[in-house]
Amino acid sequence: MLPLASIAAAAVGPLAQTAATALTQAPRAAAIAETAGASFGDFLQQFSAQTVDSLKNGEAAAIAGVDGKASLQKVVGAVMQAERDLHTAIALRDKAVSAYQEISRMAI
């Protein structure tokens, strides 16, 4: 039988990770929400600029980690954020291409 402390730690671990992820993404979501009145093109332009910045931050953190100037935790966090942003950008691109292909197949 597992001790109560280990059961509680196992249950709280994923919740803590989810909360930490939400807290790190909250400022980004707020910045995107500010563009609610802007056009879709403006939103995509802002998102792509944020994604490029995230990729640059991940690359800079990786270089700082190799040089021994950054902690492993900071490097992993920055690289994982860059990876999430890249996957999101790729998914948006795929959806845009799919929508364009669907529109081009429509009969006029």
Whether 94 and 107 share a structural domain: yes
Q: How many CA atoms lie within 13 A of 99 on its CB side?
A: 6
Same domain, 61 and 51: yes
Query: Do 74 and 92 lie in a common domain?
Result: yes
Report residue 92's pLDDT band, with 50, 70 and 90 as the boundaries.
Answer: very high
pTM above 0.85, yes or no: no
Residue 27 sits in the same domain as residue 78: no
Q: How many domains does the chain have?
A: 2
Contact 51, 90 (CB under 8 A): no
Residue 22 is classified by DSSP as H
pLDDT tens per residue, range 26-60: 556 556 556 556 788 898 899 999 999 999 999 99
What six digits make up the tokens of 36? 């609610």
The CA–CA distances, whole Å, from 6 to 13, 55, 58, 66, 94 equal 10, 37, 34, 35, 43
Domain residues for the domain of 105 are: 38-108
Q: Indicate if the pLDDT at residue 1 is higher than 80.
A: no
pLDDT of residue 9: 44
